A = this chain, B = another copy of it.
Amino acid sequence: MTSDTEHGNRPLRADAERNRGRIVEAAREVFAAHGLAASLDDVARTAGVGIGTLYRRFPTKEALLSAVFDQVVVEITDEVDRHAANQDPWAGLVALITDVLQRQSGDRGVFEICTKADFGHLERISAHYVPAVEALITRAKAAGQVRADVTGTDIGPVIVMLSAVGDATRAADPQLWRRYLALVLDGIRAPGVSPLHPNRVSHTELMAAISSSRV
């Protein structure tokens, strides 16, 4: 955010640096509202600069996405690691799911970098997410907090599910997803009642499936 150079070389002129900041800020807003497919013309308009200015600073769309989301990825992975370290595994799991959803609800850009493989952020996130969730689920099951037939690979789909309901109901009530989170948590909690359809799908297969859906 506060980098005052372009590629670590010559510092930018003051007005250029100011515009760069505006562009990143506008991109964040626009991607949050319309997803990563939003047009760069839209970003430039929101930033109040010409499209040429945007492209001089960020030669490709991907460069802009990096500038906007690299920091967010670090925040998310830190958060995930922190929750994994929670002494109470159930509390950690709930906090992890809640935090991820809170970030995603209301920010379609974040949602998409977490679920679409297109731009490489997903890999970095899942490298932290997968072991964290596996450890939490194992510990929570050992403590009798989570039903025995739930696995670590179920949490990804649970997040997708709640994220979808958050998106769908946002216009009616932006916090309504919390209601369905509570419902689903009650479903995950021990002891289960309904028998579960078997889940023989790996994290890797799930990631691939999720990021390829709704093309």
Contact = CB atoms under 8 A, between A and B. Distances in A.
Interface residues of A, number: 50
Q: Taking each of A194, A196, A212, which has the highest tally of chain B beta carbons within 10 Å of its own beta carbon?
A: A194
Given A172-B205, A210-B169, A179 B197 contact: yes
B164 A209 contact: no
Contacts of A91: none
Task: State how many copies of this chain the complex holds.
Answer: 2
A206 interface: yes
Interface stretch (A45-53, A81-89, A154-162): A154-162
A183 interface: yes
A189 interface: yes
Interface of A: 115, 150, 154, 157-158, 160-165, 167-173, 175-176, 178-189, 192-201, 205-206, 208-210, 212-214
Given A158-B183, A171-B209, A182-B197, 18 more contacts: A154-B183, A161-B162, A161-B165, A164-B165, A168-B210, A168-B213, A168-B214, A169-B201, A169-B206, A170-B209, A171-B212, A172-B201, A175-B197, A178-B197, A182-B194, A183-B194, A183-B196, A186-B187
